[in-house]
Amino acid sequence: MKELYRLSKNLKMLREQYGYTMKYVADQLGIAYQSYQCYERGLTVPTLQNFIKLARLYDVSLDELIEE
């Protein structure tokens, strides 16, 4: 559960640093806005494919998405 909390926190932080909206990120992943919203709320975990897309979008490693 800690990892899920860290992931959701990091996703929100990165998105805000880049000035992206949740809708923009969802569009980049090819998913519904509500699905991405669940990632940031810590309700669901992205698929491996979406983890990779997020890492590329923010130019970070997969590890960095879940680290504190």
Contact partners, residue 25, CB within 8 Å, separation at least 6: 15, 36, 54, 57
Helix (H) or strand (E) holding 49: helix 48-58
- Name which residue leads in pLDDT, 40 or 67: 40
- Name which residue leads in pLDDT, 2 or 51: 51
Neighbour-count burial for 12-42, b at 16+ CB within 10 Å, e otherwise? eebbeeeebebeebbeebebeeeebebbbeb
Report the domain count for the chain: 1
Angstrom distance (rounded) from CA 49 to CA 51: 5
CATH assignment of the domain containing 60: 1.10.260.40
pTM of structure: 0.90
| Domain around 16 | 2-66
Q: What is the pLDDT of residues 1-36, one digit of tens each?
A: 677 788 999 999 999 999 999 999 999 999 999 999
